[in-house]
Amino acid sequence: MNNISNIDNIPKEYMYDPDFQSKMKTILIGDAIDCEKIYANIDYVKPGAESVKYHSH
């Protein structure tokens, strides 16, 4: 498991749109720490954009 103690230290390879050019940026926390049991993301949404993504459980 990768040791990342600060959200600001997550490498860009674990982000969708790391430069936030689109309306939504996503950080894949579970992937960044190399954990298959934790599926956690942080989504950043610009004002006026939709705040949901298609997903299923």
Instruction: Please tell me whether the overall predicted TM-score, pTM, comes out greater than 0.85 for this model.
Output: no
The pLDDT value recorded for residue 24 is 92
The pLDDT value recorded for residue 1 is 66
Q: Which residues face 27 on adjacent strands? A: 15, 42
Sign of CA dihedral 12, 42, 32, 55: negative
- In this prediction, residue 25 has a pLDDT band, given cuts at 50, 70 and 90, of very high
Burial of 12 (0-12, 13-18, 19+ CB in 10 A): exposed
Residue 43: φ, ψ to 5°: -105, 130
More confident residue, 27 or 35: 27
